[in-house]
Amino acid sequence: MLSLLGFGTILVILLLLFTQRVAAIIALAGVPLVAAFVAGNSPSEVAAFVKSGLGGVVGVATMFLFAIVFFGIMRDAGLFDPVVRRIVRLAGNAPPTVAVATTALAVAAHLDGAGATTFLIAVPAMLPIYDRLGMSRLVLATCVGLGAGVMNVLPWGGPTARAAATVGVDANELWVPLIPAQIAGVVFALAVAYFLGRRERIRLAKVADGDASAVVEESTARVGGRIAVGSGSSIGSGGSTPVGPSAGGDDSSTPVASDAAEADTPAESAAPASGDPALLRPKLLWVNAALVVATLAALIASIAPPEMCFLIASILALLINYRGMKAQQARVEAHAVGAMLMVGTLLAAGVLLGVLDGSGMIEAMAVSAANVVPDGMTPALPLIVGVLGVPMSLLFGPDAYYFGVLPVLIEVGDQFGVSAVHLAQASMLGEETVGFPISPLTGAFYLLVGLASVDIGKHIRHMIGWAWLVSLGMLGVAVLTGAIPAWAS
């Protein structure tokens, strides 16, 4: 009975999250509370479950709150603007270089762990170059998605924060062993971007030679000319008059090269800066950079808990960049909405975890599930979870997976001595990290395809294979470095 109630609770939560009938907070907190009372628990017992669950996630929620505020202040002060402008300037007019620069820009922009911010920075900055060179916007969306995906493993990113809340450890403890895999992921993403750029160069050369079969809807390049990208195109489009056909062979001798000077100007002007120039603090650039480096160093070295690191960093950032109560309060309020939505979701997840654990549902579910898992396969559970991470992003959003599926996997693994930390880390290498830019269950996904003006289905088909390949490469590095066991003993 308890096992069925537990599975039913998870199923209802997943259905509500999938169909987006209610806010995540209602699904994560409301459904388990109802289930707890249906199971026959008294109000005082349910209150104890909730208190215990909230205590387990308060540290992660606090870290996420101050991390968003801190990086938001750094962005307001213009810390990331020189990096953005430099990457866009160096992109030039060669498709492989443009594609690599796109991924590098996404990597840099995703340091704050916010997918929406990354897409708002990277796509408008690079779209003018893609339109002027005739490169496919599907390549743009894929390159941006890969850069953001590999960086989403950061401890202040949503999936890692959720995994830490579920396992009951610091996000830092999950992330640090995966740093080599994440670095490898960045390299793999850049390599894929380079390959896609070379493929675009070949395609553009065919278009220039009159091959109509090489023309794609997501590109401005057409046989015999180029469609206008001014009045009717999406965000960041360049000039309004057709130009010569794009070519792809030798970058210095093709018509593409003649567009280089034109592309630099709109691309650079499209590079994002702070919304209000009055907030910029160019004279404090190196001070802010040192503060970010010091914060990340303290986080990696575990000098203090992550929430304390970001709390202190946020205080210093406000004091250094904005003087006076009104200016400081305005900066906090500017980033409060996004921060509180995530914090509220994490606290609601604490209610879910507390009820499932305290009521005994999760244990009953694990026992039932363990009976159907072949004993011979269970030691490889972390590896299986890692391999399936990217495709599972199509089925499970971050809340549904990390607060609904992962707890059950942890309990199943516990029956056979598989570490909860290893299962969480394996999940972090694909599920809603590298896989989040193809997940229709996240809001940032729609922002990406909307800004790039690409079809949802085409984007998923174009990116899923590359995202899965990068994720598998990261998993392989994690296994080789011993962060994740290939076979739990």
What are 175-224's pLDDT values in tens digits? 999 999 999 999 999 999 999 999 999 999 999 999 888 889 888 888 87
For residue 397, the Cα-to-chain-centroid distance in whole angstroms is 12
The residues near 309 (Cβ < 8 Å, ≥ 6 apart) are 295, 298, 299, 303
What pTM, to 2 d.p., does this model score? 0.71
Q: Assess whether pLDDT exceeds 70 at residue 256.
A: no
Which region, left, alpha or beta, applies to residue 136 given φ > 0 means left and ψ of -120 to 50 means alpha? beta
Evaluate if residue 401 carries a pLDDT over 70. Answer: yes
Most confidently predicted of 135-139, 225-229, 243-247, 337-341: 135-139
Percentage of the residues of the chain whose pLDDT score is greater than 90: 40
Residue whose token pair is 């009104």: 326
pLDDT of residue 412: 84
Q: What is the pLDDT of residue 371?
A: 65
- Two tokens, residue 169: 């450890």
* Average pLDDT value for residue range 112-131: 81
Please report which confidence band the pLDDT of residue 264 belongs to, taking 50, 70 and 90 as the band edges: very low
pLDDT for 18: 65
Give the residue-averaged pLDDT of 116-144: 88
Residue 37 burial (C-beta neighbours within 10 Å; 0-12, 13-18, 19+): middle
Q: Is the pLDDT of residue 107 over 90?
A: yes
Q: Which of 314-323, 335-344, 437-446 has the highest mean pLDDT?
A: 314-323
- At 180 the pLDDT is 97
Confidence of residue 226 (pLDDT cuts 50, 70, 90): low
Q: Which two tokens stand for residue 338?
A: 């996004």
Instruction: Give the distance from CA 98 to its chain's centroid.
Output: 21
| Residue 237 host element (H or E) | none
pLDDT at 161 exceeding the cut of 60: yes
Give tens-digit pLDDT for 455-487. Answer: 888 898 999 999 999 999 999 999 999 999 998
CA distance 422 to 181: 14
Task: Tell me the one-letter amino acid at 351.
Answer: V
The per-residue pLDDT for 433 is 95
pLDDT of res. 20: 67
- Residue 75: its pLDDT value, please? 83
Q: What is the rounded CA–CA span in Å between residue 389 and residue 396?
A: 10
Q: What is the pLDDT of residue 271?
A: 40
Instruction: Give the pLDDT of residue 372.
Output: 66
Q: How far is CA 253 from the centre of its chain?
A: 38
Average pLDDT, the chain: 83
pLDDT digit string, tens, across residues 410-449: 988 887 889 999 999 999 999 999 999 998 777 788 778 8
Q: Are 469 and 158 in contact (CB under 8 A)?
A: no
Tell me the pLDDT tens digit for each residue of 360-397.
887 787 667 656 667 778 889 999 999 999 988 887 87
Confidence (pLDDT) at 223: 80
Average pLDDT over residues 118-142: 88
Residue 226 phi/psi, 5° resolution?
Answer: -140, 135
Choice between 259 and 214, residue whose per-residue pLDDT is larger: 214
Is a pLDDT exceeding 60 seen at residue 232? Answer: no
Main-chain phi, psi angles of 481, to 5 degrees? -85, -5
For every residue of 62-127, DSSP letters joined together read HHHHHHHHHHHHHHHTTSSHHHHHHHHHHTTT-HHHHHHHHHHHHHHHGGG--HHHHHHHHHHHHH
Say if residues 141 and 252 touch (Cβ distance below 8 Å).
Answer: no
CB burial of residue 94 (10 Å; 0-12, 13-18, 19+): buried
279 HSE (CA, 13 A, CB side)? 20
| pLDDT, position 249 | 39
Residues 6+ apart with CB under 8 A from 322: 73, 279, 328, 330, 331
